[in-house]
Structure 1
């Protein structure tokens, strides 16, 4: 091999060795590929499962079941079946409340801001609390010993099937013997609804009733009053405009009242506390000579009996 070839080989070896040493010492490669961002993998959130907890810190009640009363996302109907642990717990609660009429069970229904409220109540939480209240009543607990509330909880996570496990919380309290504030509150509700009844205008062909915020608040107050006042009931009165004949309008008014009754029943107002009647076209509140007036006359009115 010639001296020139040896020289060139030495230079080449020197370059290769220097490159290797450089890469090792710098912990990198001299030739780099363009950095490719790795996809961010977000782990699915764990399903929320609230247990059935009932504890009276001023008494002996202490219930704890891993199961609870469950609902579909945006739903207001308790899912079946209900576990034996829960039914046994409610039976124990009944015995406890029967032993002290001053004990009150507070039910707070929970909901998330992502859910759709198609109920008659101001929020899904209150609608769910009323569903649970009706279940308790069906098990023999007096509605006069139950208070219902609604609360936003955006930390709740449903399962992949869209089921919310236990979107409710419970609290036991004791009312003072001389506390009459709840009676005063009920008297105010009666006075308000008597002076300003719940009025709904709708087309009977519609599958749902779209209530305003003010109307939803009235529904919640009516429901509370019916729960707390023994023998209380509501009357739903159907009205029409004067289009057509009076006899047909009397039937149409009854159909509207019955439609509203079925809507209230779906929203956990007991069927036995609802009376329906029709006034047909006999009690207009606006001029039937105009379309706007006729639209106002096509209504149902909800009043305390």
Structure 2
């Protein structure tokens, strides 16, 4: 090989090596992500985190058997692991609810179904069996306070792992709505409801807690009974009865006051958990209605209780 050929070969080799080095070392700096076929993250094995798109659901209610069709970009919003509606509610949404109220008043056989969604990663701190049902109940209360009859509302909760909050943990419209027409010839549902509500009267929800206790921890069975009682209140127009009881230790008059304090504490808990105050009545029986023997400590502990039922 001549000296000139060797010189040209060296230049060519330098160009090739320079191109290769430029491609691998400068691509991520000089090229954008679309034009680089081998991104730096791929060459060093780093996997970019998946970014979930924030879920934003419109407020949509259609009557497939009527002429009511409503679609709004606004909706009821919630924080993750929370069942209280984020305030303020938009003016357009409030106007939409008032239109719904007018339609339901004109069509008493129409029922609106509210299904609240919840994710398995959320914490349920409500008194209901799941966070979705608690959210649906909050929206139901909003409807009722704006003139919709609770007898025309059904609520449900549904697991939905596809709802994604924004960076501030806001969930935009984790709900769905539907409208149905009641079949007046079908009395089975109402008969079953009345039977279930009579069973609650015979077997009320019983809570045991100390006066001054800051919170009430419900079991899954107790949460379901709260939901059942709430359903009876909505559909039958009855009131939730919260009755405080004590053992027979001490002054009888003071025990009446103590029983009322227990009932009031349970009432405040229920209100914080989305039960309308107007649907709750409290009273005290003091030591008058024991369910166990007051001569034993175990019996007295059973008698120190609060019962939640319906009238």
Q: Displacement of 1:176 after TM fit?
A: 1.3
Of 69, 76, 100, 1:62 maps to 69
Return the TM-score normalized by structure 2.
0.85
Aligned to 1:304: 310
**Is 1:284 paired with 2:284?**
no
Q: Cα–Cα, structure 1 residues 237 and 21, in superposed 2: closer, same or farther, change >3 Å?
A: closer
Of 187, 196, 203, 2:194 maps to 187
Of 261, 264, 268, 1:258 maps to 264
- In structure 2, stretches of 5+ residues that fail to align are 26-41
- The question of whether the paired residues in 2 share the 8 Å contact of 1:240 and 1:281 is answered with yes
**Is 1:169 paired with 2:176?**
yes
Aligned to 2:141: 134
1:113-138 deviation line (CA, Å, top 9, x unaligned): 11111111111111111111111111
- The question of whether the paired residues in 1 share the 8 Å contact of 2:248 and 2:287 is answered with yes
SS at 1:252's partner residue?
helix
Q: Displacement of 1:19 after TM fit?
A: 7.2
CA distance in 2, matches of 1:22, 1:220: 74
Give the count of matched residue pairs: 293
- The question of whether the paired residues in 2 share the 8 Å contact of 1:239 and 1:298 is answered with yes
- The question of whether the paired residues in 1 share the 8 Å contact of 2:77 and 2:173 is answered with yes
Return the TM-score normalized by structure 1.
0.86
Aligned to 1:100: 107
CA distance in 2, matches of 1:93, 1:263: 30
Q: Displacement of 1:39 after TM fit?
A: 3.0
CA distance in 2, matches of 1:65, 1:193: 39
CA distance in 2, matches of 1:203, 1:79: 32
SS at 1:204's partner residue?
coil
**Looking at CA atoms only, which structure, 1 or 2, has the larger radius of gyration?**
1
RMSD: 2.8
CA distance in 2, matches of 1:273, 1:183: 20
Aligned to 1:245: 251
Aligned to 1:201: 208
**Is 1:155 paired with 2:162?**
yes
Aligned to 2:129: 122
CA distance in 1, matches of 2:285, 2:180: 45
CA distance in 2, matches of 1:77, 1:194: 29
Aligned to 1:73: 80
CA distance in 2, matches of 1:253, 1:284: 12
SS at 2:281's partner residue?
strand
Q: Cα–Cα, structure 1 residues 227 and 21, in superposed 2: closer, same or farther, change >3 Å?
A: closer
Aligned to 1:3: none
SS at 2:133's partner residue?
helix
- In structure 1, stretches of 5+ residues that fail to align are 1-5
